[in-house]
Amino acid sequence: MMVSLYSAATGMWAQQYKLDTVSNNLANVDTTGYKKIRAEFQDLVYQYYKNAGTPTAQNSTIPTGIYVGHGVRLSATNRIFTIGNLEQTGNALDLAIAGDGFFQIQLQDGRIAYTRDGSFKIDSDGRVVTANGLTLVPNIVIPADAVSINVSPDGIVSAEMQDGTIENLGTITLVRFVNPAGLKAIGDNLYLQTASSGDPIEGTPNQDGFGAIQQGFLEKSNVDVVKEMVDMIIAQRAYELNARTIQTADDMLRTVSTLKR
């Protein structure tokens, strides 16, 4: 009876965590380049009363055994890096990666972070930066007298000047990881390298398996709203059933405690 109380309590905790994950996914349904998170669970240790294969008095063996589980635990939160839909914006500095790869962003402490969010801006010095003022790597500087900006699928950035000449401003490179799910999310649509993700592999867009850069587009979140709503309902019902299990076990214990009276 006490096992059922503990198992149901772990079930409630697991469904609470699943609901937290679902709510975060839904909150970021319009976040540029956001990648949904999936909570993954494992069953806990089992209490064995009889092991399968145990000999019996009839010179046979028990075929399945007798054991009781002790609930569930959270094993991982897996970020799903499938590509979201591309939305056309017409903004020259809105860049989407149509395929594999991350943009490189320099943090204020000098570290390099990685993002799928290509909604770039120009700061007062003409540098291409994120919405928080962090610099794109490699550094691209837009001349003040530039009339228009062009970014090719290969990442080559050029500007048309007022006199009609074309000036090459540099090339945007991308990186990818052996295990992108191992990246550490730090907020602001940024990720950091970890030992699990592996080292960044740098390359040219639209070559060697890297995605092409699409100018004037942004990658939308890959959250499937319908699926998240279904998962939310399942989590709610499972939470209620585990709570009902605790109530039922408590009623049974109360019945047992009154037998001596």
pTM of the model: 0.86
Among the residue ranges 7-11, 54-58, 187-191, 209-213, the one predicted with the least confidence is 54-58
Q: What is the pLDDT of residue 61?
A: 76
What the block records as the tokens of 27 is: 């909150």
CA 102 to chain CA mean position, Å: 14
- Evaluate if residue 53 carries a pLDDT over 80: no
Q: In this predicted model, what pLDDT tens digit does every residue of 121-171 receive, in sequence order?
A: 999 999 999 999 999 999 999 999 999 999 999 999 999 999 889 999 999
Write phi, then psi, for 2 (nearest 5 degrees): -65, -30
Residue type for position 108? Q
Residues near 209 by beta carbon (within 8 Å), at least 6 away in sequence: 99, 100, 176, 203
Q: In this predicted model, what pLDDT tens digit does every residue of 225-257 receive, in sequence order?
A: 999 999 999 999 999 999 999 999 888 888 888
Write phi, then psi, for 190 (nearest 5 degrees): -115, 150
Q: Evaluate whether 219 touches 84 at the Cβ level (below 8 Å).
A: yes
CA 248 to chain CA mean position, Å: 37
